[in-house]
Structure 1
């Protein structure tokens, strides 16, 4: 089956109007994080919502796109963390995402399995102290005139489009949620997947709990 790809120039609208973030932090996190040395970054759980699939686009194509986007955001976030680490801004390090994905594959855990697997089990498989995960729900109403051409989705993001994203941290011992940052963006200017990742990280990094004081 031929894969379905969104054009990097057409995917997201991130010259954005954004709602204020929602932040959760467990009461015990300040104490728990003192023992954290290495974190792993999971592929993001991505959902692309649409009222109607354009002609020529199948549900399988959409699933492939969501998976590719999830791994792409994982790499974007890892790259952002690496840049910040080079400036000595964090008290932790991050496992190479290639190693993370290889270990998950060796354990038989697929992209779809990640939604159901416990964070405790994932931490054990990866040999890390905590995992960073996230999700993105993209809302894009598709008109009847939208079509696939040269492997790209052609269509416009209207003013009602939105992207709801979050980034979370779960610790290894019990797999408990320690920290969560929700971010909502909306707009109508085309941008790339990297723009979404950068917008999420630029905002969440201000409150990222492993920043050195």
Structure 2
């Protein structure tokens, strides 16, 4: 592991990494004009001692906040690439628009897994939808992390986080791209830091940003 990566970013990357790229992704992406990302389903795994000071409603609210934070961070990552001229063809739907469209049809964080990526993409009127799972033992967003610390007195480093991200085609629902990575970091780690580390090398294999 190169030390320079640890010095530049609050996350260091563990060895567990896997990436799948559909062999037709480049060709399919040529016809894409707009993409969207939905909130990531999140699981915050606390120790039993920490859990005793939280009820189910508090935990559900915490995990929902984390999932939406990852969604927003991913949106920001794509916007930065677009600003640099790396994504001139592709537009990225604002998460507020995405979530509002879903909510109008009764789809929210709690029941989003009851709908296929193909269904979600058609509702959102996009060419591809980005979704994923996020697992951590401490919240990444600053607000949630501080709130949790005040609530149960939990401070310290984030031992690990696992992110599993997928891109599905709207027309037929096929999987275009999947990336699974395990990372670890400190209390100051944020969703933006996590996404930057996640996408640092993965973007080279992503049809939308391969020239990044």
TM-score (norm 2): 0.80
Question: Which structure shows the bigger proportion of residues in helix conformation?
Answer: 2
Task: Give per-residue Cα distances to partners, 1:55-102, cap 9 Å, x unaligned.
Answer: 421122111101001111111111111111011102411111111111
Report deviation, 1:105: 0.5
Give the structure 1 partner of residue 40 of structure 2: 44
Asked if 1:99 corresponds to 2:97, the answer is yes
Asked if 1:170 corresponds to 2:168, the answer is yes
Q: How many residues align?
A: 192
Instruction: Name stretches of at least 5 consecutive residues in structure 1 with no aligned partner.
Output: 1-12, 141-147
Find 1:24's aligned residue among 7, 20, 29: 20
Task: Give per-residue Cα distances to partners, 1:39-67, cap 9 Å, x unaligned.
Answer: 01111111112341344211221111010
Give the structure 2 partner of residue 132 of structure 1: 130
Contact 2:81 2:209 (8 Å CA) reproduced: no
Contact 1:77 1:201 (8 Å CA) reproduced: no
Give the structure 1 partner of residue 81 of structure 2: 84
Find 1:108's aligned residue among 83, 106, 109: 106
Task: Give per-residue Cα distances to partners, 1:176-196, cap 9 Å, x unaligned.
Answer: 111011111135x32233322
Root-mean-square deviation over aligned CA pairs: 2.4
Give the Cα separation in 2 of the matches to 1:51 and 1:177.
35
Report deviation, 1:112: 1.5
Find 1:62's aligned residue among 59, 62, 67: 59
Give the Cα separation in 1 of the matches to 2:132 and 2:190.
14
Instruction: Name stretches of at least 5 consecutive residues in structure 2 with no aligned partner.
Output: 1-8, 139-147
TM-score (norm 1): 0.80
Report deviation, 1:36: 0.8
Q: Which has the higher contact order (CA 8 A, sep 6+)?
A: 1
